[in-house]
Amino acid sequence: MIELTVFFFGAIIGSFLNVCIYRVPRDESIVRPGSRCTSCGNPVRFYDNIPVISYILLLGRCRYCKSKLSVRYPMIELLNALLYVVVLMRFGPGAPWVLLIYFVFVSALVVIFFIDLDHQIIPNGITLPGIPLALILGATVLPDPFLRQELLGLKAAVIGFLAGGGFFYLIAVVGKAIFKKDAMGGGDIKMMAMVGGLMGWKAVILTTFMGSLLGSIIGVALIQLKGREWGSRIPFGPYLALGALVSLFWGQDILFWYFYG
C-alpha cells in the first residue's frame, strides 16, 4: 500500500515538474497563472489535470482547441512516480526525512535533465540553493549511498562538494585554454558541486564516469543516426543526471561488485 501511495504522490509532483520544465527557462512564475493550454491559452481544469489519467481520457488533446498535447507530460509524471518508488525501495520507509530529501533530489534531476536537453542550460534556481542545502543535509542527516549503514558526514560532504565543483571547474579552464572554446558549462560545475555535497566524493567519480560513458554512447549514436557533426555541442547535464541516479540507487552495489565481484 505504501508503494502505491508513494507512486501517486510522485505522479502528482511530476505534474508540477512539467510546469517547472516549461516555465523556468522562460523566466515565468511556476505558481501563477495556473496551468493553461499552450495553444489556445484556456485554463486546464482540475479534472483535466489528473496525472496520466487525464491525458488518456482526453486522448492526448486539449479539451477546448483539440490541439495535441505532448506525450512528454504523462511520461514525466510516470518517470517521477517510478523514481519515488525506487527511492522507497532502496532506502526504506524507516527514515522519512531521508526519503523526502531524496524525493526532492531526484525531482530536481528530472527538471535538470529536460531543461538542459531542451535549452542547454541548468537553472541557477536549482543549483545555487541546492549547493548549501546539499552540504548541510549531507553533513548532518543523509547516509553515504555507498555505505548506507553510515552517515555521510561533514568531511565527506565538503570533500564531495570540492571534488565535484573543483574537478569540473578545472575541466572548464583547461578545455578553454586548449580548445579555445567552452569545454564545460557553469551549470554543470554547480550541479556537480551539489551532487558531491549531497552524496560525497565517491558519487562524484561514479556520476562523472557514468555520465561520460552514456554521453559518449548516445553522442556517437546521434552522429551515426542523425548526421550530427563531430564536435557539435551536446548538453552534458542530462547524462550527469542519469549518472547521479545510478550513484544514488546502485552506488553501493557497484562498489561491492568492483572490489569483491
Same domain, 87 and 100: no
**Residue 196 contacts residue 204 (beta carbons within 8 Å):** yes
Supply the DSSP string of 120-188, one letter for each residue.
Answer: S---HHHHHHHHHHHHHHHHHTPEETTEEEEE-HHHHHHHHHHHHHHHHHHHHHHHHHHHSS-SS-HHH
Out of 57, 74, 93, pick the residue that ends a domain: 93
Count helices and strands (H / E) in the chain.
9, 2
Distance between CA atoms of residues 42 and 65, nearest Å? 9
Distance between CA atoms of residues 4 and 139, nearest Å? 31
Same domain, 100 and 80: no
Q: What is the pLDDT along the chain (261 residues), one digit of tens a residue?
A: 899 999 999 999 999 999 999 999 999 999 888 888 888 888 888 888 899 999 999 999 999 999 999 999 999 999 999 999 999 999 988 889 999 999 999 999 999 999 999 999 999 999 999 999 999 999 999 999 998 778 999 999 999 999 999 999 998 888 777 766 766 778 999 999 999 999 999 999 999 999 999 988 887 777 777 666 655 567 889 999 999 999 999 998 988 887 766
Q: Which residue has the cell 560545475?
A: 189
Same domain, 145 and 239: yes
Backbone phi, then psi, for 150, in 5-degree steps? -120, 150
Same domain, 88 and 101: no
Same domain, 21 and 109: no
Distance between CA atoms of residues 23 and 115, nearest Å? 10
Same domain, 43 and 104: no
Q: Given this model, what pLDDT does residue 231 score?
A: 55
Residue 52 region by backbone torsions, left for phi larger than 0, else alpha for psi between -120 and 50, else beta: left
Q: Which residue has the cell 575541466?
A: 171
Out of 47, 76, 93, pick the residue that ends a domain: 93
Q: Given this model, what pLDDT does residue 261 score?
A: 62
C-alpha cell belonging to residue 91: 532506502
Backbone phi, then psi, for 188, in 5-degree steps? -65, -40
Q: Given this model, what pLDDT does residue 41 score?
A: 83
Q: Which domain holds residue 57?
A: 1-93
Q: How many domains does the chain have?
A: 2
**Residue 138 contacts residue 156 (beta carbons within 8 Å):** yes
Same domain, 149 and 256: yes
Same domain, 22 and 115: no
CB-count exposure of residue 261 (10 Å: 0-12, 13-18, 19+): exposed
Supply the DSSP string of 67-90, one letter for each residue.
Answer: PBPPTHHHHHHHHHHHHHHHHHHH
CA dihedral over 152, 153, 156, 159, signed as positive or negative: positive
